[in-house]
Structure 1
Amino acid sequence: MTDPTPFQVPVVDIAPYGDPHASREERLAVARRLDEAARTVGFLQVTGHGVSAEAWDGLGSVIDDFFGLPLDVKKAYIAPPGVNRGYTAPKSERLSLSLGVEKAERMNDFFEAYNVGIDADRFPDLPLDRTAYAPNRWPDEVDAFATRVQAWMAEVDVVAHRLLAVFEDALSLPAGYFDRFTDHSLNVLRMNNYALPPGERIELDGDLIGMGEHTDFGIVTLLWADDVKGLQVLAADGGWHDVSPLPGALLINFGDLMARWTNERWRSTLHRVKPPIVDGTIRRRRSAAFFLDGNHDAVIAALPGVVAAGERPLYPPITVAEHIDAKLRGSRGLEVVTTGTEREAERVVASRG
């Protein structure tokens, strides 16, 4: 399907939420723009986020350094089953299974990744699940890997919590409402490399995919990405549209838990990554997604004011742990997830038609 007007991802400047001198009116104007983007697209580009150039460049360099290692070295960092940390080799995941969508002839997703996250030692007074909050592995072969990655995570975590304050205003919630759901949030950074050999010519057979159709699992995702095309969003017109970030902008999208919280007032938008091919030649593409997933033990149920009188919520309450575990059984365990994914799966099947 073709949209006669160009598809655009809205740009929202959140600087007033980091400025102690900004007026209430300036902040509410930002919240209104974000609410409009969340309701209509589910993706936005955030400027005025305050992430430093040093952290930005440091993340790009660590991605280059790690994924430039030989494959057998990288494979030494593959985590045990059920642990969402470490290295993922190309063609070992199938993200569309997290939606209960399977296409037997499709190749597994052709990307490689490295995951790090918040570990249980960060919260020594809480009895946290040490599999979900697993310790990180920092590759010895890459200089200052941990330093560069942790610098990025620290700065983008500030942006994520600033966004939560915007969400509270946009949804007419009290300031600090989300604190009790995110004070030991299960945050994960996934660094991605689309690992087809750069520069080779290839004939696409229709089955090759960089990263399969999926929604993100948690509350909100903050994405660092280079400007090589590949990321596509499934829009309201039923078609897939290319998305590339503006220079220095973070791409933001809302996950399944936010869609559940808002009773789908805000969209958990389906997206995918096509192989980065330009004029038949493969180009390298990199990205890094910071997932703010919420506390593992938090219960997610419809927020106040999002369900009309006399209606029922679209989703029953669920813990963050139950939801994330089910999704990972699909994408990484290669099980077909069939509970709670019917609405998204229908949209994927329709787009394939």
Structure 2
Amino acid sequence: MGGFSVPVVDISAYVGEGSAATRGETARRLDDACREVGFVQVVGHGVPEAVIDGLKGAIDAFFGLDLDVKKGFRAPPRINRGYTPPRSESLSLSLGVEAADRMNDFFEAFNVGIPASAYPGIELPADDYAPNLWPEGLPEFRPAVQAYFAEAARVARTLTGIFADALGLPPGYFAEFTGHSLDVLRMNNYALPPGEVVLDGDLTGMGEHTDYGIVTVLWADREAGLQVLGHDGGWHDVMPAEGALLVNLGDLMARWTNDAWRSTLHRVKPPVVDGSIRRRRSAAYFHDGNIDARISTLPNHTGEGTPYPPITVAEHIRAKLAGSREGRSNPYADREAARVRAAADA
């Protein structure tokens, strides 16, 4: 492991009424984690255990359906909603990195997001803020997922508040970029029936990638599989701590800070035990920002190397999705792709 670890940070001072000193220490610790790793184990987040249990039940209920039934909830690739079958995406292509077998990631997923109707009075692109495809015949699914969605949204916005303090910005700085944020919850399942995949050492659950937006809040089973690319150029296993949510930075935060806070590369290489894949579930809440927001390097970070060129959230997100879902190489991801190629075992 070479001393690699993902720091644990308690954010309860921001969830409740913490003192200025306690909040300052929390912001300092989060800043250290973002600069050194880009991943952090967040505790003190306040998400009720019952809500997480409800999410687990919803994930199990949907992915337990027959494949043909699940495929009935597919959307076109440009619409980030509904079901994604195994081997229909390749996350490495979101970075412009060619995969050995295009569309080879074997995970399956179900996405829900915020529809345009949630932001009345604002004209928004229908594809980006599409209605959700709620599965029929699972009455507990929608309320359980919506309950977790609301909690994850609260945690994400709490984190951006801490980010502003940690970066020396005015309180609430990021609020102007997130008033109609393009947020999505992706529920993932890494288990397939025997014979569906070849169980070898090169099996890819989810290819190496960075997350697209501002920040990701991840609930995951305490099972092996998640790997993070360290500053040493090697991949390191990450196991979620008991009761923690994994938080990682997205590309937009890297652009704002000119890579002082990197969007850390990660992948899933699930273990094969006794000839079968050990099941692993996760749910990633992507807090991506307003579709029309223009992201430029923060004034206090322009002197640290060459700044990223300005880009809108729409341009960035669409290029990433066109790569992972349609196989079109991303022209905006040179820095991230270079890190993948330089990895010790890439």
CA contact (8 A) 1:202 1:282 kept: no
Q: Does 1:264 align with 2:286?
A: no
Q: Does 1:334 align with 2:327?
A: yes
Residues 105 and 116 from structure 1, CA distance in 2 versus in 1: closer, same or farther, beyond 3 angstroms?
closer
Alpha-carbon offset, residue 346 of structure 1: 1.6
CA contact (8 A) 1:232 1:241 kept: yes
Match for residue 202 of structure 2?
A: 207
Match for residue 88 of structure 1?
A: 84
SS at match of 1:268: coil
SS at match of 1:186: strand
Alpha-carbon offset, residue 341 of structure 1: 1.2
* Matched ranges for 1:212-231 at <5 A: 212-231=207-226
Using the alignment, how far apart are the partners of 1:156 and 1:350 within structure 2? 33
Match for residue 155 of structure 2?
A: 159
Match for residue 106 of structure 2?
A: 110
CA contact (8 A) 2:37 2:264 kept: yes
Match for residue 312 of structure 2?
A: 319
Using the alignment, how far apart are the partners of 1:221 and 1:241 within structure 2? 19
Using the alignment, how far apart are the partners of 1:276 and 1:332 within structure 2? 25
Alpha-carbon offset, residue 77 of structure 1: 0.4
> Residue 193 of structure 1 is aligned with which of 189, 202, 221?
189
1:22-65 deviation line (CA, Å, top 9, x unaligned)? 21111010000000000010000000000011111011110000
Q: Does 1:63 align with 2:55?
A: no
SS at match of 1:173: coil
Identify unmatched segments of 5+ residues in structure 1. Answer: none
1:63-100 deviation line (CA, Å, top 9, x unaligned)? 00000000000000010231110000000000100111
Per mean C-alpha deviation after superposition, the further-off stretch among 270-279 and 127-136 is 270-279
Alpha-carbon offset, residue 105 of structure 1: 4.1
Using the alignment, how far apart are the partners of 1:166 and 1:278 within structure 2? 40
Using the alignment, how far apart are the partners of 1:328 and 1:117 within structure 2? 15
TM-score by length of 1: 0.94
Match for residue 345 of structure 1?
A: 337
> Residue 286 of structure 1 is aligned with which of 270, 281, 286?
281
Alignment RMSD (CA, Å):
1.7
Alpha-carbon offset, residue 19 of structure 1: 1.7
CA contact (8 A) 2:226 2:270 kept: no
Using the alignment, how far apart are the partners of 1:273 and 1:180 within structure 2? 33
CA contact (8 A) 2:90 2:99 kept: no
Identify unmatched segments of 5+ residues in structure 2. Answer: none
Q: Does 1:242 align with 2:237?
A: yes
Using the alignment, how far apart are the partners of 2:91 and 2:328 within structure 1? 10
SS at match of 2:290: coil
Q: Does 1:119 align with 2:112?
A: no
The alignment-based identity, stated in percent, is 63
Letter in 2 for 1:328: L
Using the alignment, how far apart are the partners of 1:287 and 1:144 within structure 2? 18
Alpha-carbon offset, residue 148 of structure 1: 0.6
CA contact (8 A) 1:98 1:336 kept: yes
Alpha-carbon offset, residue 277 of structure 1: 1.9
TM-score by length of 2: 0.96
**How many pairs are equivalent?**
345
Match for residue 306 of structure 1?
A: 301
Alpha-carbon offset, residue 103 of structure 1: 3.2
Letter in 2 for 1:13: D
Residues 197 and 275 from structure 1, CA distance in 2 versus in 1: closer, same or farther, beyond 3 angstroms?
farther
Match for residue 12 of structure 1?
A: 9
